[in-house]
Amino acid sequence: MKLLSSVQSFGGLQNQYEHVSATLNCTMQFSVFLPPQASDGHKVPVAYWLSGLTCTDQNFATKAGAQRVAAELGVAIVMPDTSPRGKGVPDDADKAYDFGLGAGFYVDATQTPWNAHYRMYSYIVEELPALLEANLPVSNKRAVFGHSMGGHGALTIALNNPGRYVSVSAFSPIVSPSQCPWGQKALGLYLGEDQAAWQRHDTVALIRAGAPQMPMLVDQGLADNFLAAQLKTELLEKALEETGYPAEIRYHPGYDHSYYFIATFIEDHLRFHARHLQ
């Protein structure tokens, strides 16, 4: 790990690092907020934030306004990038925003040429936590949350790894990529056309298949212009009702897909996770 920058915020430190990832076969950057409770080497619990399409590790750090509450609660926040990057990492041929660089979709690609680098699932679940827990004052008590594509990543990663995360939450998640254009494009190219391989990366499918219950919170803005075509929150709501899964879905009139929405409700999410982390 190489420290790229460090600034003080609410008594803690907002840091950016880079490292060579064996999983992604490239150099990756990520950001970490360490609350003041970690200043004496005391290990603090950690919430992993997964960002959406086109984002890097910096969007949440600079726009969400999460540091004040995280400092109060004594929770570290880890902000990975959304895809592998660098020389030799392939991108969408048309430079589309919804696939390739900035759009790793938190899966392990099986199709060429993507499978040489696009293994964001294993990076988030295995490599990055192991690196951080060995080098920073963070514990193995983990929560995971995210936005849009990152909300999809948070939900599916949590449901596929019972016991690894104590809680999960999402803003405006893609709840069923198997049933929306963003997801069908990404899963088809990363995983192939056999849709059976897509199901473990589809929150609705995982819930219906009997995924273990865990604390779950989802916030969705009703003025979100992606709601009807891409996010389809009603599919998750129906699956939860059918299976008796005790998650909380909250709808917010007037709120859109932006970081203004995230900043408005980020404190709720951090306090939700802190209750389970501590």
Catalytic site residues? 148, 224, 257
- Closest CA relative to residue 198, chosen from 116, 114, 110: 110
Asked whether the beta carbons of 249 and 237 are under 8 A apart, the reply is yes
Its sign, for the CA torsion 171, 150, 135, 33, is negative
Would strands 26-34 and 12-21 be described as parallel, antiparallel, or unpaired?
A: antiparallel
**Distance (Å, rounded) from C-alpha 91 to C-alpha 97?**
10
> What six digits make up the tokens of 25?
């076969």
- Closest CA relative to residue 158, chosen from 101, 201, 114: 201
**Distance (Å, rounded) from C-alpha 150 to C-alpha 144?**
10
Q: DSSP letter at 52?
A: -
Q: Which amino acid is at 277?
A: L
Asked whether the beta carbons of 35 and 136 are under 8 A apart, the reply is no
Its sign, for the CA torsion 5, 36, 9, 269, is positive
**Distance (Å, rounded) from C-alpha 45 to C-alpha 133?**
10
Q: Which helix (H) or strand (E) holds 34?
A: strand 26-34
Instruction: Tell me whether residue 150 is exposed, middle or buried, using C-beta atoms within 10 angstroms of its C-beta: 0 to 12, 13 to 18, 19 or more.
Output: buried
